[in-house]
Every structure is written in C-alpha cells, then in structure tokens.
Amino acid sequence: MQKRKLGKSNLEVSALGLGCMGMSFSYGPPPDKQAMIGVLRAAVERGITFFDTAEVYGPFTNEELLGEALSPFHGKVVIATKFGFNLNPDGSPGWQGLNSRPERIRQVAEASLKRLKIDAIDLFYQHRVDLDVPIEDVAGTVKELIQEGKVKHFGMSEAAPATIRRAHAVQPLTALQSEYSLWTRGPEAEVLPTLEELGIGFVPYSPLGKGFLTGKIDQNTEFDKTDFRNILPRFTPEARKANQALVDLLGQIAARKKATPAQIALAWLLAQKPWIVPIPGTTKLHRLEENIGAAALELSAEDLSAIESAASGITVEGARYPEQIEKMTGR
C-alpha cells in the first residue's frame, strides 16, 4: 500500500490506517478476541501499518488486544493511543468526565506502554480538550514524555484551531484526529487550513460515517441494544431516511467506477489532501480488503467535481452526538 507522511513530521504510515475501537467497544457485543487478532495480523500482511486505539476503549481491552496481536510486528507498525478521560472506578465501559492533568497523562502513558507491549507510544493523542487544564500544560507534559523516550509524537482529537496553535507552540503536533467524511465536513472551514499552515497531519475517524456511508444501513436497520449508534441523533430512523440521499449519490458514482460506496467515500477523503490518513474501522476481513481497495482507486478532477456538486445539494440531518458529548468537541 502507498505510504503517507503526517504533515511535516517524519511519521510515515500506510495511506489508510485501521481504527480498532469496534473490535472491543461501542458497536454491540465485542467480537471474538482470536478472530480480531486474525483481522489485525491480516491488516499488517496487506500493508496497513497504522493502528488506532485508546485507553477508554473497553476500557483497556482494546489496547490489550493490539498489544497481543501486533507484538510480532514491533518496528514495522505505528500504534496511536489516547489519554484524557477519568474512567469508571468499577472498570465498566464509559467514563466520568475529562482529565488531562499532567499526573494523569503520565499514568496513562505508563499503563498503555505495558498493555501495548511497546517501549514508546508512536502517537499519543489528547482524546478531548480538557478546559480545566491549560493546553500548554498538556503539551508540556507530552513534550517531557517525548524527551524521556516514552512517546514519539503528539496528537490531539477534535480540537479547535486556536487550541491547536497554542499546543503546537509548546510541542509540535504530528496529527489531529477528528471526524471527517462526506457527511461530516466541519473541519473544512477552519481546521484543515490551520493544519496545512502548521504542517500537521490529519487523521479522519469515522470516515464511513460509522457504517452509514457503506450503504449497508437504512431506516429499517435495527442495532444491538448495546450499540452506541442508538443514542446518536444522526442515526434515528428519520435521520437515516433523510440522509439516504448521500448514500444514493455514492452508489451512483461507485457503479460508474466499478467500486463500492465505501471505496468512493474513502477515495474522496484521500483525494482531499496528501497528508490525510483515514482510519476506517472494521471487524471483518472482507470489509478490510474492500477498504484497502480504496487506496488504489483514482478519482479524477471530474469525479471529485461531480461529487462536490451533488453533495452540496444534500443537507445532512441530525447532530453527530448527543449534546453532552458534542460539547466536548471543537474547543
């Protein structure tokens, strides 16, 4: 697979990464662990070198999964993980507010290193901006961890341009991770220009709209009761019905290009900037292979113009998150 560099950093990764959250968290009952180890190792064999996890996914089980699955490939893969939440004291899924205090960042780093079975965290993201801790203190703590050899690169997630600038002035950011896809285009107005100016890479999560842009979900789809899409305003049956127009558009272009809607959605993202590395998640080998196929799909200027023109006439219905989660973004 082609490689890309995240911004001006020397961090080179596969053009598509793999978001691993769904392998143990969020989308219904966790799949079989051994099966997920198989998918992770198959991803490496097929050229994926960039894997995304977080302490809060589980909590802990996702990092442990990657630690076991990827230990034979040390030095050949890049693992990104995240800090920034207070976890539930009983170990249950979810969290109890944000916490990016320096001592908490250090605590997470030490624990993540053990679970991931690595000597240094390749890319350490602040999962969400914590307004109770000056971002300069957060960046300064990660800078110390980099100087100590425990972390290699600093990242942030869902941060606003002004916050990115303040953090970057203390410890240069390698990447920002935020949601971005054909149905979530908020980063285009201010975030992407800021990243381009500063030389920071961009890692879109949910590049397939949490599965919606694959065309495999419609207004009648029923999710498992533990699937977090049940609480997302954009996934109400009414919103799904309204948003079907975007999937129909992808389907039309896919038919013309002899591809799938998912491949068109990912190829569109890859065509936006050479320093964008989407991280679609999957638990299925055939979906992994489908996603990888997007990296070889060329969209012409005419294709991109046609997508832009058609998409501009579609209004996406529903907020990304419930209000209490949405307010943690863009700050």
**What is the spatial distance between Cα 47 and Cα 32, in angstroms, rounded to a whole number?**
23
**What is the spatial distance between Cα 250 and Cα 269, in angstroms, rounded to a whole number?**
13
Secondary structure (H, E, C), 155-187: EEECCCHHHHHHHHHHCCEEEEEEECECCECHH
Q: Which two tokens stand for residue 196?
A: 């381009």
Question: DSSP state, 200?
Answer: -
**What is the spatial distance between Cα 102 and Cα 107, in angstroms, rounded to a whole number?**
9
φ and ψ of 207, to 5 deg: -70, -15
Angle, vertex CA 233, rays to CA 227 and CA 236, nearest 5: 70
Judge whether 321 counts as a catalytic residue: no
State which H helix or E strand residue 266 sits in: helix 261-272
- In 30-147, at which residue ranges do the beta strands (DSSP E only) sit? 50-52, 78-83, 85-87, 95-98, 123-126
Which is it for the CA torsion 213, 123, 120, 16, positive or negative? positive
Which residue in this structure is represented by tokens 């058609």?
310
> Active-site residue among 27, 57, 125, 205?
57
Q: Which residues form the catalytic set?
A: 57
